[in-house]
Homo-oligomer: A and B are copies of this chain.
Amino acid sequence: MSATNSLNAEDLGSAAQRDRRKRILDATIDLASKGGFDAVQMRAVADQADVALGTLYRYFPSKIHLLVSALGREFERTEAARRDVEIPGDTASERVINVLKGTTRGLQSSPHLTEALTRAFMFADASVQAEIHQVGMLLSTMLTRAMHPGQSEPTDDDVAITRIIGDVWLAALVGWVTGRMTAAETGAQIERAVHLILRD
Contacts and interface: CB of A to CB of B under 8 A. Distances in A.
Contacts of A166: 171
Contact of A189 (B132, B133, B163, B193): B163
Contacts of A172: 167
A51 interface: no
Interface residues of A, number: 30
A193 B160 contact: yes
B126 A179 contact: yes
Copies in the complex: 2
Interface string A55-69: 000000000000000
Contacts of A157: 196
A160 B125 contact: no
A197 interface: yes
Nearest to A192: B160
B180 A164 contact: no
A122 interface: yes
Contacts of A189: 163
B196 A161 contact: yes
A129 interface: yes
A7 interface: no
A57 to B, nearest CB: 19
B178 A126 contact: yes
Given A163-B189, A171-B171, A180-B133, A122 B125 contact: no
Given A122-B123, A167-B172, A129 B179 contact: yes
Contacts of A183: none
Interface string A115-137: 00001001111101100110000
20 contacts: A122-B123, A122-B174, A123-B123, A125-B178, A125-B179, A126-B179, A126-B180, A128-B178, A129-B179, A129-B180, A160-B193, A160-B196, A164-B193, A164-B196, A164-B197, A167-B171, A167-B172, A168-B168, A196-B197, A197-B197
